[in-house]
Structure 1
Amino acid sequence: MRMVDLIHKKREGGSLTRAEIEYIIQGYTRGEIPDYQMSAFAMTVFFKGMNKQEIADFTNAIVHSGETIDLSPIKGIKVDKHSTGGVGDKVSLIIIPLVAAVGVPVAKMSGRGLGHTGGTIDKLESIEGFRTELSREEFIHNVNTYKMAIAGQSANLTPADKKLYALRDVTDTVDSIPLIASSVMSKKIASGADCIVLDVKVGSGAFMKSLAQAKELAQTMVEIGKSLNRKTIAVITDMSQPLGYEIGNANEVKEAITVLQGKGPEDLTVVALTIASYMTILGEVYKDFDQAYRELERVIKSGQAFAKLKELVQIQGGNPEVIDHPDKLPQAKNHIEVKAWQSGYVESINAEAIGITAMLLGAGRKKKGDLIDHSAGITILKKIGDEVKAGEPICILHTNMEECGEAEQMIKNAFSFSKVKPPQIKYVYEVI
């Protein structure tokens, strides 16, 4: 078998066999296939696509390019959740204690943030002492005992994906549904969960800008899950503006706490309850969505979910007092108001620009390995449909930087106003 022949086959619209796909992934992981040939292959996939069987085989080959996590010692149906990334997306911080509170084991593997999207691990590390590096034994013990654990992804998980992802980033082949879907699903399957709920974001702050793209990606990932014996549900949710009002690591922990106290913003609460409901259905605690949603609302009102969050912090080495007193989270020195320059209604908010602004303030990374400032972030004061008067604050920038003119200008460019109130945004578009 020769890589050049397989590139040619795919370029001409042919379908690759499982053996051919395994040859490509194994060879690339071992360094036998050079970057220039893998770049050519990624570009052929970008233009020619892959059929369902090819995508399933490609995903499976990536799963087995490194170690896989055996969660069989964990009792019950293990459910994991993955978001395709957005701005202000702190849903994982809410659903882990919420779903665990009704007895579904949540074995959560999460990553760090890069670019305009935040990482769950970074958010939790804004809590003093919180440990995300857990041994396999500790991880399994916590899920069996407390029904929940969250840890950073192992360096040996899906090494082929890490190499291919870096290559796609510099060859403009990121925006390919077979490559995106196999990347996401390989990590989830290698992480060992029995069932997966996918939160597929759509809008200005998401990777998928149109609903048609989001549906295609969701359908592809659900089909991969089925073909590899994982029950998978995809929920398409809105990311045309930031989720909730807070962006930044400590800020987002605070807002997650308010949701678990029953006082959170409507959009974030609805999305979190929807994702959690499907997780409990897959975990076979509830039979249908309406029952699950109603019962989880009750769990929040009762204070059980809030108590479970404190327990999560405690068992992973964090200071649980922070949950009762969020003012103990890291605080930035400077708080800069950005004011509306005209009256009217907020017509749109470019969520991606908001995420990049937060990164400029210190809340995110431009490249892997960058240090982040857990106290930096943005509080949105006005969202789409809200009425605003000229001179009224629309958001607050939180930073330890002395000079942030670029961030201020970017945030202004992210907002647009109109004289007519825009229609209400849907929080959840579709479930696949």
Structure 2
Amino acid sequence: MERLRVTLWRVASLMFVGFATPSGAEEKTFNMTKGVTEISGKVYDLHMLIFYICCAIALVVFGAMFYSMYHHRKSKGAVAAHFHESTKVEVVWTVIPIIILVLMAIPATKTLVAMEDTSQSDLTVKITGSQWKWHYSYFNEDVEFYSLLATSQKEIDGIEEKGAHYLLEVDNPLVLPINRKVRFLLTSDDVIHSWWVPAFAVKKDTIPGFINEAWTRIDEPGVYRGQCAELCGRAHGFMPVVVHAMKEDEYDQWLVAKKEEVAKAKQEAAASLTATLSKDELMTLGEKIYLERCAVCHQASGAGIPGAFPAITGSKVATGDAPTHIDIVVNGRPGTAMQAFSNQLTEKEIAAVVTYQRNGLGNNTGDLIQASDVNAIKSAMSPDSKEGA
């Protein structure tokens, strides 16, 4: 009996956690959080309202059921009534639920309408899901970048101790200002992903060929984490979302610095087209790019995943014709999981990773690919070159 009593108490505690723990660690464990936006607060309040209504309904229904079972039990000589229908009872148990549903629908509809209102935004960010990373593009600011998982492969493999933000850390977080309405346009390059940040109460699917909309206005500066909430493939669990919310003046300073960084990167990319790198330089950079961009499919060892992703080690592509290898990395392979990296990596980075694949991971072709070789392949595939031909 004592064990039964303890079990029932624990169940009741979980059911009524909204009453028992208005704040604190237990609420974060068992209940929704209020988040850091006005909408997330409305969603939380709506959630708690519906929860209270459900608890009240459960109390009435189960209370009446247990009362009837106890006071009208057979041992007290109770005799069951015999009847087939009661118009009054049917009207009551139809009308009352309708009234309850209408009362629940009013605040729910208001919240849903507010969540979908993306008008009068101060900033627009395009979010593109891709295997398995996020691409952020700031409208009218000439700033865009990819955001990749920053957790090391050694942590994932269990060689090193897992960090505090294991699988929830990226190299380039999305940076947003507080107190400004930010509109999100969401789409995908390949399969369906889902951009989700619980603290904002924003969760939207990114669908190839389709654009979804969402918005947020962050009230408090800080770092907020989420992840892809759609089972999008093998590396679904390695696609985190990190948003760094800054004060408005700090954000403006960051934006200026980011524009300068982007402009400098473009100048360096242009200069690299005429540069010749040594094998050591290409292999060092190539290994870094490979581990960041390629290892998730082809494995860090180059062994691939049989039946899903081909091996690099000993492959006909990595040991065959170099221009064909470059073309596959630049343009991808339609109909397969091999995506195009022409807009994701610079010519120098593509040259380095192709060199690494051809001279590392068990391969040894001796080929050194330069940025000019990659640029020649890209130029040959451009619309202008085709028209000229």
Q: Over alpha carbons, which structure has the higher Rg?
A: 2
TM-score, structure 2 normalization: 0.27
Higher relative contact order (CA 8 A, sep 6+): 1
